[in-house]
Structure 1
Amino acid sequence: MTLEGLLDSPSELAADASAGSVSIVLMTRIRLARNLAATPFPGWARDEQREEAYQACCAALTAIPLMKRGLSVSVAELTELEKQILVERHLISRELSEAKRGAGVVISADQALSVMVNEEDHLRIQVLRGGFQLKKAWSAINELDSALEDHLNYAFSETRGYLTACPTNLGTGMRASAMMHLPALVITGQMEKVVRAVNQLGMVVRGLFGEGSEASGSIFQISNQTTLGESESGILKRLGSVLETIVEHESNARQRLLEAQASNLFDKIGRAYGILHNSHLLNSAEAMNLLSLIRLGVDLGHFPEAERARVDRLFMETQPGHLQHTQKGEIEPMQRDLLRASLLRTEFANVSAPDFSRA
């Protein structure tokens, strides 16, 4: 698979996730941190050691049937725009995009699996699944991890589990997370309370692109915070329980909005539709927030269910890197805002006005 072919194909985030999906959960992700035995962690390794580890990991990955038809590329081969697009698709981290020598990524053809090589750890294995699919995500990543372990000698301790560059990843080396759409909790001002409660349960809440990012479009990532002293199944069970509770809180908040502030909510959704239908200048954050309201409108039955896929696709296609990719090169922020508004006008010209009689 070529890089151009990957960039021109749909992201897993925009894929149909009808199997096992919940409207509030956009995507499930599981990540495993792994390192090679008797090899310095990437941050401590010399350039030649990083290069040796990179070659060994890539050779093992491309020998696995799951990854054979995918893309293997070093960070040095990527342009700044290509790196930005891969970050927007959650296929690489911002940290990997800033790496220099001896780092890269191997991505499956369907973009559901990606393995970063020489980020903070030698291997950051991750699987993405649309919707609420923790079990399927775990099954897929466990299969890939086991296949890799047949080719590579992992750094492992009988008392500490998998050894990692950061002590917080010791043990299972697993981070499981869900990307959740929580507009009602944001509108009703309850999100801060949810964040505090989640933190007390050993979980963490982050923005759309993980640590340090903003929660634009009312989209949040919820993940486990501890990996040592817990089994993979224990982490998944605890996270699943927390996610189900958040889904329940969001559903209740939506019901309360409909009961007590229906006119205000309909006004927000109607205004979002009007702006997307007619605007000529939109920045990324504003577009995400407007699309979030349209997606809420789909969930509440004011737009046809078929429009959900359009909104989820536009969440991705209106990101700065993706917009620039359509123009085959970098463009100035003002031009991006013009192009974003034009794209959204074109898309929403085919979307019927919200039907609030179905409330």
Structure 2
Amino acid sequence: MSNIILGNKVKLYRNIDGKNFVNTMSDEELRENLEFLDPIIRGRGYENLDIEKMPSLKKLKLIEEGRFGKTFVDKKNIGFYQKDDEPDILINSSEHLELSKFSRTQSLDELYKEIYDLEGKLEEKINFAFSPEYGYLTSRVFNAGTGFKPIAFLYLPALNYFGINEIAKGLSRLGYTLGSYRDKSKKALASIYTLSFESSLTEEEGSYIEKLKLISEEIADVERENRKKLYLDNIISLEDMVNRSYGLLANARLLSEEEMMQSMSMINLGVELSILKPNREFDFYQEIMKLRNGHLQIERGSILDLRSRDILRANKSRSLMKEVFK
């Protein structure tokens, strides 16, 4: 994996033949769905994590890790299943079944194989809704056909600096969606973007994978060129942003999650452009996850108010800067 392509994720959506879609099911139908699928999934060696009984901090951590969304935990008659080194399985999320896996090290091809190996084993016990004309049926037309969604995670600080809207519009015209983690001002945080397809209806899975790999590399090339431009034409501004970010992380006594993410991203750019010299390997994505709200509170073992979280995050950030750069 390059320092621009941070990781990959694959999702697969399936519905049971002859049943209503999740968004039109009654509570009783959702419960029947769960009762039918639960023993099949457990039979594959999966563990069921009871969302309703799960501590709120554990839910927050799993949401931050992208294992499921915020809306999922508020639903009734849902199931979340995990197994070491295997894709996660969600029941009654947007579809009857959702298989997904994110990896920092595995390729889209490797994730694709894992997901479809699991789907094949489940299909031995489950008759999935399929149309010869439209392919696998889903509640959202864009997810129908293959029911397959490959996603690339991209780190694009230079493009973010110069403005990424035109690239996003161009990608949209080609059938891609460029998403990002955003704060309340709608500004991209940490310059981390997700790239996926708007629809997976018309082509085979392998075609989508190859297209996503190709466009990801093309975007990475544009990012590299923009980094050169930023370094050569705006070195003073670049050094200022990097050192301000370092100063904040090395000295702050109160540090919000948003400030931490933005500053970690800028410091990482400084490392990659040799403005800062770390003493050890610096994986900014991993360090961001360690300093997010859910991870901090689980590590502390208690729910913290906003100010306490920001104080703890600042303490850990100062220690990290000393360890990495001094």
Q: TM-score scaled by structure 1?
A: 0.85
TM alignment of 1:267-278, pairs within 5 A = 267-278=240-251
Contact map agreement 1:96 1:116 (CA 8 A) in 2 = no
Q: Is the 8 A contact 1:26 1:132 kept in 2?
A: no
CA distance change for structure 1 residues 213 and 114 in 2, over 3 Å: closer, same or farther?
Answer: farther
Corresponding residue of 2:34: 54
Q: Deviations over 1:167-194 (max 9, x none)?
A: 22110111111111111111122x1111
Partner SS for 2:81? strand
Quick one: which amino acid aligns to residue 28 of structure 1?
N
Residue 65 of structure 2 is aligned to residue 89 of structure 1: yes
Counterparts of 2:204 and 2:154 in 1: how far apart (Å)?
24
Instruction: Specify whether residues 179 and 213 from structure 1 end up closer, same or farther in structure 2 by C-alpha distance, changes over 3 A only.
Output: farther
CA distance in 2, matches of 1:201, 1:305: 42
Contact 2:253–2:311 at 8 Å: present in 1 too? yes
* In 2, Cα distance between equivalents of 1:36 and 1:108: 22
1:103 aligns with 2:78: yes
CA distance in 2, matches of 1:74, 1:57: 15
The residue aligned with 1:45 is: 25
**What is the match of residue 144 of structure 1?**
118
Partner of 1:73: 49
| In structure 1, distance between residues paired with 2:74 and 2:310 | 26
SS at match of 1:168: helix
Q: 2:223 & 2:38 partners in 1: Cα distance?
A: 42
* Cα separation, partners in 2 of 1:215 and 1:98, compared to 1, 3 Å: farther
Q: Which residue of structure 2 lines up, in the alignment, with residue 3 of structure 1?
A: none
**Alpha carbons 2:100, 2:115 under 8 Å: kept:** yes
2 CA distance for matches of 1:143 and 1:280? 49
Aligned partner of residue 325 in structure 2, secondary structure = coil
List aligned pairs for 1:114-129, cutoff 5 A: 114-129=88-103
Name the SS for the 2:181 alignment partner.
coil
Which one of 221, 241, 253 corresponds to residue 248 of structure 1?
Answer: 221
Contact 1:299–1:305 at 8 Å: present in 2 too?
Answer: no
Residue of structure 2 in register with 1:166 after alignment: 140
Q: What letter corresponds to residue 95 of structure 1 in structure 2?
A: T
Distance 1:332 1:307 in 2: 32
Judged with a 3 Å threshold, the aligned counterparts in structure 2 of structure 1 residues 132 and 218 are, in CA distance, closer, same or farther, namely farther
Counterpart Cα distance in 1 of 2:295 and 2:188: 19
Q: Would you say the 8 A contact 2:231–2:238 is kept in 1?
A: yes
Tell me how far apart the structure 1 counterparts of residues 187 and 70 of structure 2 sit (CA, whole Å).
Answer: 14
Which residue identity lines up with residue 238 of structure 2 in the other structure? L
**Distance across 2 between alignment mates of 1:151 and 1:296:** 49
**Distance across 2 between alignment mates of 1:346 and 1:88:** 23
Whole-Å separation in 2 of the counterparts to 1:175 and 1:305: 39
- Report deviation, 1:308: 2.7
- The equivalent residue for 1:356 is none
Aligned pair partner of 2:235 in 251, 255, 262: 262
Gaps of 5+ in 2: none
Deviating 4+ runs (over 4 angstroms): none
Secondary structure of the residue aligned to 1:331 is coil
- Partner Cα distance (2:220, 2:64) in 1: 25
Q: Which moved more, 1:171-180 or 1:327-336?
A: 327-336
Task: Say if 1:168 and 1:228, in contact at 8 Å, map to a contact too.
Answer: yes
How many aligned positions are there? 324
- Identity, % of aligned positions: 27
What does the per-residue CA deviation read over 1:125-153, in whole Å, with 9 as the maximum and x for residues that have no partner? Answer: 11112157211121221111112112211
Mapped pair 1:113 → 2:87: yes
Secondary structure at the counterpart of residue 265 of structure 1: helix
Give the TM-score, by structure 2 length. 0.93
Deviation at residue 55 of structure 1 after TM alignment: 2.6
